[in-house]
Chains A and B, each alone.
Chain A
């Protein structure tokens, strides 16, 4: 790679004349034949391959407390996975140059400033535009992916479509979620307004949450279902999810809300429709009979 071309301009204006500069293909081959370039390319490929498994590791950690229990959470994990894959080469090229700078291009020790100077590379248009182009493409990919995913999970939250793009037919279930210091209350307005401090929902049914708070800001986080929204005093925020896995999952408060914030936890029980109906009868029976 050369620095700024210092030939007189008159020479450049004569395309026919002999040029002082070799062919681009020759320059590329010459560049690739340099030892440090080869080393860096090899280390780069190795490091990229070494980092790629991190994508599975990230998913593993996220699943330690429980695998996804909704399509939304599945989409979130897939986004994490793809972003980690895309980041691997960026991470690798930086780490490679760091390593090679420390180990490959030589070191000087001692207290006196070194006598030897390094090559005076002030600029390199190919590197600059290549880098800007590559990072812009990566950013564009991430932005487009994010926008599409956001639109998808927004639709899923609204219960209009499933991941397979089929409109759902199940009748949605409304639940009013109220946070207060330091517990959650769930009210089922369509089921004679029964209330519970444990969230019980039927599987494969779109659920709407109308979330609010009595005192300060809380955050309603259903961990394995990928639901998270602030519970604001004086406002109702909406979100939704369609659980697709039976079992008990965690609900935590994810916004500091005072003294017992750490203990503001409860559970969501995803049950079959029959079990849910039985539970509603049981709760309603207690309340109304």
Chain B
């Protein structure tokens, strides 16, 4: 013990101390108030921006989920529809033979003048219109004729019958009846002819055109010939394949690297170097990963362009540092006393890690995974460099087929020349993407609290 030297003269005495403390109190309270209010302002500003973002997104995007549809009757005119009755498989006819015959019949059916049927269908509800055929077809989406053909191929007994049908209005007509286009513009600056516009107005006034929920946004792929029917299904599947690749590759590799570095690797210059590099990788701009993907996966390994597999590989590289860093920090948070308990009982290093340490880090790893996946889901730049911004009109059947991704679809739509229609479409796609993100984050929170409760 060191003894305390008594030098009381230099120090303030009892009453003085109380005064000094009282003086300093005012300053301390002021500092606290300033800091608190600054924090509050910061949060309010952040919340304000989020509110602005969401209100713009929702006011612009939500109307796009309801599109103009024409409700009418279609007459499957036997004079127009070619091909005759559908062939029936005869006894003794081989399957391949029959399929060929059936395809020939379908081809004949497709060659029929379906546009004439579409025109007649519209005239049924607006018999006194002065519009010509092309004016009428301009207000119905060009994919309507395929819809009618598919109805007929599905059920050839419709020939000669009249059935109710709902036809999607074209993007131009949708813009017009939603009032997005200035009505006082001269004819030559309008997308639709005067008679088309009048017809659309008449159909809307008569209640034949209504605004229905556009399920095809979720079930259709992108379309340039019939923009009104463009949907997100292809982009969604592309994103889904990529996320599967990311989860399958990034989670095991990331967790294994983190466990090795944290629990097994000796602490020396090499592991320090690796750690620095992992932290640096997390800060590499994503477009650089795209270049790497194009150079390595496509040029060197010869993987197909625009494929979700390549996109998934690139996003895996991007997600790995996130997962490694987060897993390592949750491993570090496991108390050392737990490791000692297991080691003291004679558990090997491996048993200690897998029986006791790793189970405690599951919530952390799960959160890291979902944050990483959500980040990858929203990533656009690297995908542009590996060709995933191509226009793809098919739903990819496998991760090797050409596809696009949700954020890339947003990028493509925002650049579409039909501004009035695709501005809302873009916002709608953003709503879908943000919705997915919110769902992913909600899953992360629910799973984490559930796993933590179980302990």
Q: Are A and B a genuine interacting pair, yes or no?
A: no
B interface list, Cβ under 8 A from A: none
